[in-house]
Amino acid sequence: MVRKLFGTDGVRGTANTHPMTAEMALRIGAAVGRYFRRDASGVHRVVIGKDTRLSGYMFENALTAGLTSTGMNVLLLGPVPTPCVGLMTRSMRADLGVMISASHNPAEDNGIKFFGPDGFKLSDQAEIEIEALIDAGVEPAQAAHIGRAKRIDDARFRYGERVKSSLPRDLRLDGLKVVVDCANGGGYKAAPDILWELGAEVIPVGVAPDGFNINKGCGSTQPQIAAETVVSHGADVGICLDGDADRVMVIDETGTVADGDQLMALLARRWSEDGLLAGGALVATVMSNLGLERYLSGHGIGLERTAVGDRYVVERMRAGGFNLGGEQSGHIVMTDYATTGDGLMAGLHFLAEIVRSGQPASALARQFDPVPQLLKNVRFAAGQTPLDHSGVQAAISDAETALTGKGRLLIRKSGTEPLIRVMAECEDAGLLERTVDSVVDAVADAVSA
């Protein structure tokens, strides 16, 4: 079966537009509550976290209503990073964790993503079964068995202790001046506090959420202000999180931005040298740069590639016994410490390397020279299937032929937005531009036809 509601990371869309409506959230809550409460005996719990979007209030209440209607007791965490939900699901011995967030998307969007009792995101099969329950409808619990809701006030403090515990106990950040951009999102309180507790001089950016400014001109997808702040304040390093703090970009002291591939290269080499890299390989997606693959090979480290989405990275890590993986976009997963991508934790491990090595951020954030990579997006309307168009297929075939032996081409439909993503890698800049543009033009023609 094909999932209709769920994308690569839960259900996502524009707030108050299908499927992200209060009515649908209530139905989703009831369906997922029934799915995880198939055994009617005992106490059943679900933890719900959210980022700082205005619509989060609406979806928090709707999900709570749906879940309690099936007998689930709801524990409300408030605004927290996504990895906090994975942690608290296990810590609270809950049956289910829910994060209300559209990650790096603009404020008008929102999403709902789920964690199982083990703190890991749900499988495709579980999502298919939940969708079937949504379509069929569920029988509510009897009046005497309706669930309760309770606020948990110390979730981000518990999360902070877990993040700090991933570093050696004697490691401090004294003397480091750190810019941290929280994207006006779920990490706006936790991240600056944790850095301060470890001894860093903290310069916060994006820590004044108003419900509308999440990811707006800030965060991991728009790091310009943070980069300028690093330079103007003479900071040693910058850490840019996204709206739910599960991804990170690092900025060196010159204001240069390093993506997730560079951070994964650094951590993989370091862990390999220390005998800590399980399975002798890093897990990354098809989007990671060819330069990363060459770098790892040169250090005797394997690379396992997966489909795009940190959920698929984690699934491969668990299946193969690997403990380090992630995405070029900045999701870094360290399963020795967390069940999902954690931008702050990954950023702290980069800071730990600065302390350990005594090298500046610029020396650590450029582990390899990336192969030139070009990514362009084409937006399409609901119901359109531009990749099925004969002209698009012909353009893709021609581009692949042109790149044979010189680079690679990747075409995919975004799992979080109505976009066709066209990406190519090639050391010939002219060929790179021509091949990407040829496919982009064909997709645009199909969309406008």
Give the catalytic positions in this structure: 103
Return the structure tokens found at 200: 């860093």
List phi, psi (to 5°) of 98. -130, 130
Return the structure tokens found at 302: 């394997």
